[in-house]
Each structure stands twice: as C-alpha cells, then as structure tokens.
C-alpha cells in the first residue's frame, strides 16, 4: 500500500497595507485614502491609477479604520432650518435643489450626508459630524447663533451679516429687491406693496434694496409682515388690503408661494393681473413658471449654491482659508 501524501498548507498571501500601496504608487498614504474614496482632491488620472493598483493587489480601504486614524466621521450634517408642513414641504425646490447640489458634491468627495431639521440637531450623530451646513439662518439669526456654539466648521445658506464668524453662501438679495423696484418704476407703478417676513436676514435685504431704490424716486412702499411663506398667507395679505380699502398697483412678494396666493386673492376681488396690479415673486420655482398667469419672479441658483456650500465646508474641514460668496440674481419677467 502506497503511503498517503499529506497536502502541504497553502501559503496565504498577506493583504497589502496602505503603506505598501503608497510605496507602489509613489504617493502619500493620505493620497491613497482620498483616491480610494473617489475624492476630487485627487486628480482623476491619479485616482484611476491608484484604484487599478488596489484591485491588482487585492487592497480594500478599511473605512472605519481610516476614520478612526483621522479622528473624523467623514460625515457632514445638513440642517434644514424649517418645520415641514403640508403647505411647505421638504420636496419643494427649497430646500430640495440646495440639497441636490450639496449631496452631489459631498458624495463625490467621499463624505456621507446626515440630513436633519432643527428638531433633530441635538442628535449625537450630528454632534460627531466633521462639519455643518445650515440651510436658513432663522429669525434674527437665532439658528446661526445656536449652531455656532457647536464649534464645528460651518457654512450657512443665507445673507451676509456685519459680524459673521462663519461662512455664508447665498444670493444677492439686495440686488434682487432693487431689480423689482426698477421694474415697477419702468412700467409706471407708484403704489407698491411688500409682502414678507423681514425678521429673516434674506428677506430683510430684499426689502432694503426695494425700499432704497424706490426712495430715490420719492416712493415709499407699504410693508405687510407675514410669518408664513404660503399661498394662504399671500391671499390673506391681499384680503387685508382690500378690507382696509388700501389703494395699491403692485406687489413684491418674498416668495413665489406668497405671490401666487396674492394673485388668487386679486382675481377673487375682480382685479386683473397685471393690468390693475403687477405682481413679482421670488425664487423662480417650477410652480411659478407654470402658474396661470405665469409668474414674474427673481431667480436664484439654488443648485449652484448647494455645490458651493459643500465645497466651502470641505475646505474648512481641511483647514483651508475660505470666504463667503454671494451669487447673482436675475429678474424673470413673465405675465404678471
């Protein structure tokens, strides 16, 4: 009987370490980490070369270990400063368009997005985030003051202030207000009304631009303070004017929803838009463009704003110098 031959143990080839891969690629370990996370901080050519090397040598990035080494969660908390309701939803263009730009940029950089509202901001996961993006400053900047205390790198969507200690990305709201005033003046409107909540910094800047431009022509608009930015709130504002028998020929509403509500009430009162009253909204939402009559409005680029917010908070996390930035607005003249 022939002796049974014992199988020799197969030598297991050890997986390469990040240091091994860095040596093979001729780059630093942080470059390896970023390239495998598909970060735009590494050029596409280098990313593809490193990822090909990793596949060839069977290396896989241990995300948990990487985060522990860097003492980072690789998560950015996005806090929406609003209370969603049936009349103001999270799937409206604001904040959805901003969130689209933010998510695309952060995901491309290898970061996770933790989305919450003000009610969930005390969650431990939010506190552990590497940075914060705040959509909306709150009444008299109360939300900004609250989240500044977290001490995290933070970028805010809104309006610049004189004493900001955080980065702000937003639209040129003052110029938006000026452009509406210029339009009303050019078509002979002399009894304008402003509808909005000027306790919010963005709305206040729209109002200031509107008022200052009109003042140069000896015109003082009537101000209607409305807390809610909804159809019902806009309609209620117009009905209050009618009940007081106020004479007006133009309305600047601080959101498209307010403007569309105002138009509905004007039609109910038997007034023609724009023959009797001209109306301009703000935001250039798809709903406003398809409204009957199609709404004249001020356009702001939320998607680009979202991308900028993400880029700036990532730069802050990396310890880079970052400046606030305002995007241009444009008046879109339609049928109102």
For 25-77, how does the pLDDT look when each residue is reduced to its tens digit (9 = 90+)? 898 877 887 777 666 677 888 888 988 888 888 776 555 555 544 557 789 99
User: According to the model, what pLDDT value does residue 71 have?
Assistant: 57
User: According to the model, what pLDDT value does residue 231 have?
Assistant: 94
Q: Is the pLDDT of residue 94 over 50?
A: yes
Per-residue pLDDT tens digits for 242-290 = 999 999 999 999 999 999 999 999 999 999 999 999 999 999 999 999 9
H runs (alpha helix) in 57-200: 63-70, 93-108, 124-127, 142-148, 173-186
Per-residue pLDDT tens digits for 292-324 = 999 999 999 999 999 999 999 999 988 888 999
Tokens read off for 213: 């431009």
State the burial class of residue 245 (Cβ atoms within 10 Å of its Cβ: 0-12, 13-18, 19+): exposed
DSSP letter string over 254-310?
Answer: SSHHHHHHHHHHHHHTT--TTTT-EEEEEE--HHHHHSSSPPEEEE--HHHHHHHHH
Q: Which residues pair with 95 in a beta bridge?
A: none
Q: Is the pLDDT of residue 222 over 80?
A: yes
Average pLDDT (322-328) is 95
- Give the integer Cα–Cα distance in Å for 140 and 225: 14
Average pLDDT (203-216) is 97
Q: Which of 129, 122, 123 is nearest to 146 (CA)?
A: 122
Confidence of residue 203 (pLDDT cuts 50, 70, 90): very high
């Amino acid at each position: 009987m022939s002796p049974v031959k014992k199988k020799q143990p197969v030598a297991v080839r050890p997986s390469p370490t990040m240091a091994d891969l860095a040596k093979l690629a001729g780059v630093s370990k942080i470059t390896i980490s970023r390239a495998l996370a598909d970060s735009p901080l590494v050029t596409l050519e280098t990313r593809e070369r490193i990822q090909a090397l990793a596949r060839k040598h069977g290396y896989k990035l241990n995300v948990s270990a990487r985060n522990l080494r860097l003492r980072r969660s690789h998560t950015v908390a996005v806090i929406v400063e609003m209370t969603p309701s049936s009349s103001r939803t999270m799937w409206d263009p604001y904040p959805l368009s901003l969130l689209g730009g933010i998510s695309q940029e952060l995901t491309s950089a290898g970061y996770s997005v933790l989305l919450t509202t003000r009610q969930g901001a005390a969650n431990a996961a939010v506190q552990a985030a590497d940075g914060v993006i705040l959509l909306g400053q709150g009444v008299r900047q109360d939300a900004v003051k609250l989240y500044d205390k977290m001490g995290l790198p933070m970028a805010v969507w809104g309006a610049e202030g004189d004493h900001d200690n955080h980065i702000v990305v937003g639209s040129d709201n003052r110029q938006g207000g000026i452009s509406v005033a210029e339009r009303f003046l050019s078509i002979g409107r002399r009894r304008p009304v402003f509808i909005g909540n000027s306790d919010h910094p963005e709305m206040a800047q729209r109002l200031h631009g509107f008022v200052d431009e009109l003042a140069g022509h000896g015109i003082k608009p009537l101000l209607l303070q409305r807390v809610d930015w909804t159809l019902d709130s806009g309609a209620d504002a117009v009905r209050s004017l009618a009940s007081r028998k106020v004479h007006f020929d133009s309305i600047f509403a601080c959101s498209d929803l307010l403007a569309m509500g105002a138009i509905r009430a004007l039609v109910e009162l038997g007034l023609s838009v724009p023959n009797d009253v001209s109306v301009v909204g703000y935001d250039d939402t798809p709903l406003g463009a398809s409204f009957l009559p199609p709404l004249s409005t001020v356009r702001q680029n939320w998607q680009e704003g979202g991308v900028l917010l993400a880029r700036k908070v990532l730069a802050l996390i990396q310890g880079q110098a970052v400046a606030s930035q305002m995007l241009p607005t444009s008046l879109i003249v339609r049928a109102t």
